Amino acid sequence: MSARRPSIDRRGFLSSASAGALGLLLPVAARAAAPASDDASIRPFQYHATDAQLADLKRRVQATKWPDRELVGDISQGVPLATMQKLANYWANQYDWRKFETKLNSYPQFVTTIDGVPIHFIHVKSKHPNALPIIITHGWPGSVVEQMKIIEPLTDPTKHGGTAGDAFDVVIPSLPGYGFSGKPTQLGWDPVRIAGSWITLMDRLGYDKYVAQGGDWGNAVTEQMALKKPAGLVGIHTNMPATVPPAIDKAIKDGAPQPADLTPDEKRAWEQLDYFYKHGLAYAQEMGNRPQTLYALDDSPVGLAAWMLDHDAESLKLMMRVIDGQPEGLTPDDVLDNATLYWLTDTGVSSARLYWESKLPFFAPKGVTLPTAVSAFPNELYTAPKTWAEKAYPNLIYYKRQPKGGHFAAWEQPAALTEDLRAGFKTLR
Phi, psi of 237 (to 5 degrees): -130, 140
Instruction: Calculate helix-pair angle for 348-357, 282-289, nearest 10 degrees.
Output: 90
Reference 238, options 266, 206, 215; nearest CA is 215
Which one of 166, 393, 407, 420 is the catalytic residue?
Answer: 407
Rounded Cα distance, 51 and 246, in Å: 52
In angstroms, the Cα distances linking 36 to 14, 31, 116, 117 are 16, 8, 6, 7
Reference 154, options 423, 398, 428; nearest CA is 423
Q: Is 324 a known active-site residue?
A: no
State the amino acid at position 286 in one-letter form.
Answer: E
Q: DSSP 3-state helix, strand, coil percentages of the chain (rounded to 5)? A: 45, 15, 40
Which one of 47, 178, 283, 355 is the catalytic residue?
Answer: 355
What residue spans of 310-370 are helical by DSSP H?
313-323, 332-344, 348-357
Give the end-to-end CA distance of the chain in Å, rounded to a whole number.
Answer: 64
Phi, psi of 232 (to 5 degrees): -80, -20
Q: Is 399 a known active-site residue?
A: no
* 3-class DSSP state of 202: helix
Cβ-count burial 307-317 (b if 16+ within 10 Å, e if not): bbbbbbbbbbe
DSSP letters, 84-146, are HHHHHHHHHHT--HHHHHHHHHTS-EEEEEETTEEEEEEEE--SSTTPEEEEEE--TT--TTT
Q: Is 74 a known active-site residue?
A: no
Rounded Cα distance, 375 and 107, in Å: 27
Which one of 156, 216, 310, 337 is the catalytic residue?
Answer: 216
Give the active site residues: 216, 355, 407
